[in-house]
Amino acid sequence: MILRGERAITTETALRLGRYLGTGSAFRTNLQSGCEISVVESEESRVIEDEIRAAVSRVQMPREWLP
């Protein structure tokens, strides 16, 4: 299920894989985080950008700070 992207790598699974494969648990945890960020970026980036633009437009900021 993990290999098909249907289930996330838990901290415990990362620890077990790291010990078994000799890579350390942080390696697997970082891979999982990167995967989750990619999914959110592809699915939600437009909504997030729109929300930020709306919030920024309500606040007075120096022009050079705006995207």
Other beta carbons within 10 Å of 28:
21
Q: What is the pLDDT of residue 30?
A: 86
List per-residue pLDDT tens for the chain, 67 residues long. Answer: 777 777 787 888 888 888 998 888 888 888 888 888 998 888 998 898 888 888 877 777 677 776 6
Q: What is the pLDDT of residue 66?
A: 66
Q: What is the pLDDT of residue 67?
A: 65
Q: What is the pLDDT of residue 60?
A: 72
> Rounded distance, CA 60 to CA 42, Å?
30
> Rounded distance, CA 55 to CA 63, Å?
14
Per-residue H/E/C for 10-47: CHHHHHHHHHHHCCCHHHHHHHHHHHHHHHHHHHHHHH
Using CB atoms within 10 Å of the CB of residue 14, give its burial: 0 to 12 exposed, 13 to 18 middle, 19+ buried.
buried
